[in-house]
Chains A and B, each alone.
Chain A
Amino acid sequence: MLEVSGLSKRFGHFPAVNQVSFNLRQGEILGLIGPNGSGKSTTFNLIAGAMRPSAGSIRFEGAEISGLPAHKVCHIGLARTFQIPRPFRRLSLVENVALAAHFGSSESIAESEARRRAENALETVGFSSMKVSTEGLGAAALKKLELARALATQPRLLLADESLGGLDHAEMEHAAAMLETIRTRLGITIIWVEHIMGLLMRVVDRVIVLDHGEKIFEGLPEAAAKDARVTEVYLGHART
């Protein structure tokens, strides 16, 4: 579904992402992990069109998308969430999501259809009341709003950025279960960038570990936990 090859991004002389390559299969959840500054968010931004790569290729369903602007990337079926939720505060909850339904799809849809899609998306992520403003929403609700907004664009690939950050244990469990539901119920493929490893390892099919902008591991989560380089990166020393 997604083929990333030789992806690089330099800021001046600093290589934030260096020659990263991986493939993503339809229907899988791929975990993208690494310590702070490892390049996972940059990789994510490059795929989502928020940044232009310095080199490399990103092919989605066979078509080259590297360098496309973010709105076009969204139109062809890739949606993203943000690590720190970025709701539109001047709009209501439903307006936030209806806007995504309207502009997220390349086809033109009626206002009533956008609203229906928005309500569906909000229901999917677990909002019981639609008639609330974005003011006063807690961390968990804002994460849900991010997810609902992305889902309303009817993506085939979801890029979920640190969906667990700032949540308590119960909320984290719920958020992880939500991503699984999105995959199984809606058939959406997911790349999940996360800092918190425990829960992620339970949910994802495969994991890629980045360090200093380079891929240091790709494989099953169980294998990652045993890999000497991964352990060294996370714990500062190799397991003996």
Chain B
Amino acid sequence: MKDEVIRRLGPLLLAVLGLAFVPFVTSDYVLHIAIQILLWGFVYTAWSLMGKFGLVSLGHGAFLGIGAYASPLLWNYTGLTPWLGIPIGILLAVLLALIIGYPCFRLRVVGHYFALVTLALSQVALLTIVAARDITGGSLGMTPKAVGHSWYALQFPEKPYFYAIALVAWAFGLCIWHLVDLGKGRAALEAIAEDEGAAASIGINVMREKLRVTVTSAALTALGGSLLSQYFMYVNPDTLSGIAVSLQIVFAAIAGGMYSVFGPTAGGLFTIALPEILRISLGTNFVGAANTIYGALLVIFIIFMPRGIIGWVESRLAAAPAR
């Protein structure tokens, strides 16, 4: 067991130590990209907790949106600190996960049907945010009242502060990924993904295990959403909720490799850094070309690397000694 913990946490610790030096050697612009990669990587990791066990949720945009809006709304209207606003957002996302998850799991809504139910959830969340425009700012989005550098308001104009927060959140997400992936819990979820009836027949409480992983995934996604809104100091329904965001989460986690701990983060690198690089290198020469190339690469990666970028690298490394 001890060896297993070292084997799992060793690379993570090394990665965190390496990444901790980034703010000292780079510009604010690179840090801005790095913060986004870490925060989105955290959200993609949260999604992969469910995705790798066959629970393909297209509703994570809803959980992200709840997390993103709860804290700024409470801050603007009641002055409640995000230290309380964020947990409230997480609780609301958990509640929504239970409301959707319980009947779905009870009625054995699985596979495509589960994906469709959760897809609808994404859009309901987006439309609700837009409809409540008097409070949320609707499609125009909203800005949390800025107070400058403040731990109480969790607002930092300086990038390194948020970089540190993003790094801690990301490492926390990866620890949870390992926790879910360890021992009997993982085996139970694998068994459920394959055959719920057979899993129940050997004493596995299918409902409890599925709800547990769903709630964990939703809570982490909401936390990711709230950190993204705190960082950007701006929330918009199109960028932090809805079907497009849900699909972005799914694509990135799959492209990066949802079966590997660093896979979803690689997905973050791919979805955040690549469009940025393409945008800068193409400039205004070919308007729209960056998005086209990005989309084409995504398709190619998903077709030729079904286990994602990291999964592909892992399989190459595993095959190498045999040659």
Does B bind A? yes
The residues of A with any CB-CB pair to B shorter than 8 Å are 48-50, 69-71, 74-75, 79-80, 82, 86, 88-91, 95, 98-100, 102-105, 111, 114, 149-150, 152-153
Contact between A69 and B197 (Cβ–Cβ < 8 Å)?
no
B191 contacts which chain A residues (CB < 8 A)?
A: 88, 91, 99
Partner of A103, one of B184, B190, B195, B197: B184
A80 to B193, CA, bound (A): 20
Q: Contacts A99-B184, A103-B184 given; indicate if A149 touches B190 (C-beta within 8 A).
A: no
With contacts A79-B202, A105-B203 known, what are 7 further pairs, Cβ within 8 A? A69-B205, A71-B206, A74-B200, A80-B201, A86-B198, A99-B191, A103-B188
A48 contacts which chain B residues (CB < 8 A)?
A: 201
A155 CB, min distance to chain B CBs, angstroms: 10
B106 CB, min distance to chain A CBs, angstroms: 10
Q: Among the interface residues A74, A75, A150, which one has the most CB atoms of the partner chain B within 10 A? A: A74
14 A-B interface contacts by CB (under 8 A): A48-B201, A69-B200, A74-B202, A86-B195, A86-B197, A86-B198, A90-B193, A95-B187, A99-B187, A99-B191, A100-B202, A102-B184, A104-B203, A111-B1
Contact between A50 and B197 (Cβ–Cβ < 8 Å)?
yes
A187 to B187, CA, bound (A): 30
Residue B194 CB within 8 A of the other chain? yes
**Complex interface residues of chain B between 175 and 197 (CB less than 8 A to chain A):** 183-184, 187-188, 190-191, 193-195, 197
Contact between B203 and A100 (Cβ–Cβ < 8 Å)?
yes
Contact between A88 and B194 (Cβ–Cβ < 8 Å)?
yes
Contact between A90 and B184 (Cβ–Cβ < 8 Å)?
no
**Complex interface residues of chain B between 201 and 237 (CB less than 8 A to chain A):** 201-206
B198 contacts which chain A residues (CB < 8 A)?
A: 82, 86, 88
Partner of A149, one of B188, B193, B194, B202: B202
A95 to B194, CA, bound (A): 14
A50 contacts which chain B residues (CB < 8 A)?
A: 197, 200-201
B195 contacts which chain A residues (CB < 8 A)?
A: 86, 88
Contact between A71 and B187 (Cβ–Cβ < 8 Å)?
no
Residue of A nearest to B209 (CB): A103
A75 contacts which chain B residues (CB < 8 A)?
A: 203
Residue of B nearest to A90 (CB): B190
Interface size on B, residues (CB 8 A): 20
A146 CB, min distance to chain B CBs, angstroms: 9
**Complex interface residues of chain B between 137 and 189 (CB less than 8 A to chain A):** 183-184, 187-188
Residue of A nearest to B208 (CB): A71
B183 contacts which chain A residues (CB < 8 A)?
A: 111
Contact between B194 and A71 (Cβ–Cβ < 8 Å)?
no
A104 to B202, CA, bound (A): 5
A148 CB, min distance to chain B CBs, angstroms: 11
A100 to B193, CA, bound (A): 16
Partner of B184, one of A88, A89, A111, A152: A111
Partner of B200, one of A71, A111, A149: A71
A99 contacts which chain B residues (CB < 8 A)?
A: 184, 187-188, 191, 202, 204
A70 CB, min distance to chain B CBs, angstroms: 4
B205 contacts which chain A residues (CB < 8 A)?
A: 69, 71, 103
A102 contacts which chain B residues (CB < 8 A)?
A: 184, 187-188
B206 CB, min distance to chain A CBs, angstroms: 7
A11 to B193, CA, bound (A): 27
B306 CB, min distance to chain A CBs, angstroms: 15
A89 contacts which chain B residues (CB < 8 A)?
A: 194
A150 to B201, CA, bound (A): 8
A74 to B183, CA, bound (A): 21
A41 to B191, CA, bound (A): 23
B184 contacts which chain A residues (CB < 8 A)?
A: 98-99, 102-103, 111, 114
B202 contacts which chain A residues (CB < 8 A)?
A: 74, 79, 99-100, 103-104, 149-150, 152-153
5 closest residue pairs by CB, A with B: A70-B200, A100-B202, A104-B203, A103-B203, A74-B203
Residue of A nearest to B197 (CB): A50
A104 to B198, CA, bound (A): 12
A89 to B190, CA, bound (A): 9
A104 to B204, CA, bound (A): 7
B178 CB, min distance to chain A CBs, angstroms: 16
B200 contacts which chain A residues (CB < 8 A)?
A: 49-50, 69-71, 74
A95 to B184, CA, bound (A): 9
Contact between B201 and A82 (Cβ–Cβ < 8 Å)?
yes
A149 to B199, CA, bound (A): 11
Write the B16-32 contact mask toward A (1 if CB under 8 angstroms, else 0). Answer: 00000000000000000
Q: Contacts A88-B194, A90-B194 given; indicate if A70 touches B201 (C-beta within 8 A).
A: yes
Residue of A nearest to B184 (CB): A102
B284 CB, min distance to chain A CBs, angstroms: 49
A105 contacts which chain B residues (CB < 8 A)?
A: 203
Partner of B204, one of A80, A90, A95, A103: A103
Residue of A nearest to B207 (CB): A69
A183 to B127, CA, bound (A): 62
A157 to B190, CA, bound (A): 27
